[in-house]
Structure formats: C-alpha cells, structure tokens
Structure 1
Amino acid sequence: MNELFTKGTILKMDELIDYSKGGVISKQVLKNTAGNITLFSFDEGQGLTEHTAPFDAMVQVLEGEVEIRIGGNPNLLKQGESIIMPANVPHALQAVKAFKMLLTMIKGA
C-alpha cells in the first residue's frame, strides 16, 4: 500500500484536500489496528445520512461550517472547533458552508 502522507513531515491538513463541486472527497491519512484518521471535504449542502460507528470518533473542523447531529441533537461547528461522537450513537452531518474536517476514529479496548 502506498502512503498518501509521508510520516515525519509537517502537514497542513486544510491544504492537503480540495473541494469537489457538489461532492465529497476523503483521503486516508493513517490507518492501523488502533483506528484511523481521515481527511474530508464537503461542498456546501453535502452531507452524510444518519448512521452509527462501532467506536468513538472525533471531528476537527479545519475550514467552513457544519451541522452535526448526535442522537438527534444538532451541533453547529465552525473552523477550529471539535466534537466527539460516541460509539453506537446515531449521527449525521450536513455542510452549512463548504467545509473540511479531520476525522479520528479510535477502536475501543
């Protein structure tokens, strides 16, 4: 497997992914047995429908604005803000403005 990102180098995450008109882009940064880190960009109005994940996940908003619903409760996040989505709790997201995020998922013990 080719590494997308070189370990031991400085990364400016918000500059490592572009937007796709009317779409969503994802790039895997790191994956191992403990979990994974993925970089995403969402064009305005794009999102992910409600779903669950088997482990906790932290969203870090790098740019833009997103509404993240966790257990039906809306949370509006902007650049520089983060939220932890608990394992097995339904969540969904919708781009209020085009946004970029770093998603870190860590598997439970």
Structure 2
Amino acid sequence: MYKNIEKQTMLNLKDLVEYQEGQVVSKTLVQNDYVSMTIFSFDKGEEISTHAAGGDAMVTVLEGKGRFTVADDVFYLEAGQTLIMPKDIPHAVYGEEKFKMQLVVSY
C-alpha cells in the first residue's frame, strides 16, 4: 500500500521532501481508490491554484506557514495545525513562507 517510503523505520514526514526554489514539490506515499497521502513542500510565494477534490482533503502543516482558501474562507495554518477541506468545494494553497504539509484525501 505505501510507496516511496521505507517501512519499519522511524522518520519525520517533513524530511521526505526538500524545498526547491520556485517550486512545489510532492511525494506520494499512498494512492488507491479509498485514500491518497502526499507530502508537499512549497517555496515562499508558490501555490496550487483553485481546484476541487473528489474526496475530503485533510491537510496538516509540518513546517512553516501556509494560506488555505476554501470557498470564500481563508485559513493561515502553522506547524501542527490541521484543516479539512470538504469534497467538491473549491480550494487553493499558497506558501506564505516556505512550508511543508501532509495531505490525506479520503474518497
């Protein structure tokens, strides 16, 4: 089920992706019909533009600070904070500063 990750090894999720200047970097850890789990890093000022997901999307910020727009609401999340973005509701993600997050989408 898990891919791109060592099993039976202690790790920090934020260490699974590095920052790259001017980019959003992602590493998918799980992808199937029921769940998707991806770790992202955002350089400051980088974004994922407005889109909607086919499942509820739960983000947890691992490091730094990001801005999450869900419909007409704006949320600023820092390390350790979590937000659930509902299925089929347009949302966007923006790097207020360099930040890393875990995304889990359940279908």
TM-score, shorter chain, exceeding 0.5: yes
Superposed, 1:3-42 pairs within 5 Å as 3-42=3-42
CA distance in 2 between counterparts of 1:46 and 1:6 reads 28
The one-letter code of the counterpart of 2:98 is A
CA distance in 2 between counterparts of 1:90 and 1:72 reads 9
CA distance in 2 between counterparts of 1:30 and 1:58 reads 14
In percent, how many aligned pairs have the same letter? 36
Q: Secondary structure at the match of 1:15?
A: helix
Cα deviation 1:36-58 (Å, max 9, x = unaligned): 10000000000111110110010
CA distance in 2 between counterparts of 1:41 and 1:105 reads 17
* Alignment check: 8 A CA contact 2:64 2:98 kept: yes
Q: 1:32: Cα distance to partner?
A: 2.3
Q: TM-score, normalised by structure 1?
A: 0.91
Unaligned runs of 5+ in 2: none
Q: 1:81: Cα distance to partner?
A: 0.4
CA distance in 2 between counterparts of 1:72 and 1:26 reads 26
Q: 1:3: Cα distance to partner?
A: 3.1
Instruction: Give the aligned partner of residue 83 of structure 1.
Output: 83
Q: 1:73: Cα distance to partner?
A: 0.7
* Alignment check: 8 A CA contact 2:3 2:28 kept: no
Instruction: Give the aligned partner of residue 99 of structure 2.
Output: 99
